[in-house]
Amino acid sequence: MNYFKTALLLAALTGFFLVAGYLLGGQTGLVIAFVAALGMNLFAYWNSDQMVLRMANAQEVGPENAPELFNIVHELVQRAGLPMPRVYLIDEDQPNAFATGRDPEHAAVAATTGLLRYLSREEVAGVMAHELAHVRHRDTLIMTVAATLSGAIGMLASFGGLMGGGRDSEGRPLVNPIVAIAAMILAPMAAMLVQMAISRGREYEADRMGAEICGQPQWLASALAKLHAGTQQIHNEAAERNPATAHMYIANPLALAGGMSSLFSTHPPMEERIARLQSMGGPSYAQSRPQTSSSAPRGGPWGNPASQTPRRGPWG
């Protein structure tokens, strides 16, 4: 997804917020929504990383208390030519991960304890390479701002009834009650669709770039298959409490009932993502990837993935 299209989608989110403010509170609501949108965008720019990390109950770690995760990220940033991000661990059994931060110099990557428990080292490397691809493309700021605006639209709709829309000098409501009710229902849905459009296009590109960073598309493909199975069976309590952040994770952390709910997922179909990665993983692709040194094995700095024993989750 190009930057122009993303800018239009973010502008659309801001527009939904302003329109919802007007429909729910008249001119006063519009002014309040405008000031709130401006303030939230500025806040999200400077504090996006800490805001999302607090929502996820993430704890910063280093080589002394999470050596495997920290070393994997360190090796990957060297291959990608990126600054070393801060590394966080989330005490959640669901295998998942995300990246945040306003730019590569202020980035953070976070993984759940379930990711380290159920995935092999190569699969973890594939997942973290995907997150570093988001950092390289500066997706983390865009996705955090989208999460902030979408969450704000949902809150505005929830409290819309309290705003009342105000009344004119004759005591008549400034906003048609039917229009206000429609705004309370439709504004969050519209925001969710825009958020979905932003996220889906960026996931495909992050998969492709992540495969290039780690040097082995099949590592990420294998990881995505396990993540898909794990997120279907293990709840992520922090994500369920803050659903506006769901699109930041590599795999949708929310419990979906299937059917119509899957149409509104912020992530593209996992089967399609895996298929795209597998199509990249033939011998011609692996042979074309540059090695960090002449002595480095073809599998990358982690060695031959076939020699490693993968860790398996409760789903098989």
d(C-alpha 308, C-alpha 83), whole Å:
29
d(C-alpha 61, C-alpha 253), whole Å:
22
d(C-alpha 305, C-alpha 44), whole Å:
39
For 283-300, the three-class secondary structure string (H helix, E strand, C coil) is HHHHHHCCCCCCCCCCCC
Give Cα 56 distance to the centre of its chain: 12
Q: Record the tokens describing residue 181, joined without a space.
A: 């009710």
d(C-alpha 211, C-alpha 96), whole Å:
17
Tell me if residue 99 falls in helix, strand or coil. strand
Q: Record the tokens describing residue 136, joined without a space.
A: 């390289």
d(C-alpha 199, C-alpha 254), whole Å:
15
Around Cβ 106, how many Cβ atoms within 10 Å? 17
Tell me if residue 61 falls in helix, strand or coil. strand
Q: Which of 123, 131, 271, 272 is catalytic?
A: 131
d(C-alpha 152, C-alpha 37), whole Å:
8
**Whether residue 131 lies in the annotated active site:** yes
Nearest CA-CA partner of 98 in 88, 110, 86: 110
CB 136 within 8 A of CB 209: yes
d(C-alpha 87, C-alpha 296), whole Å:
25
Annotated catalytic residues are 131
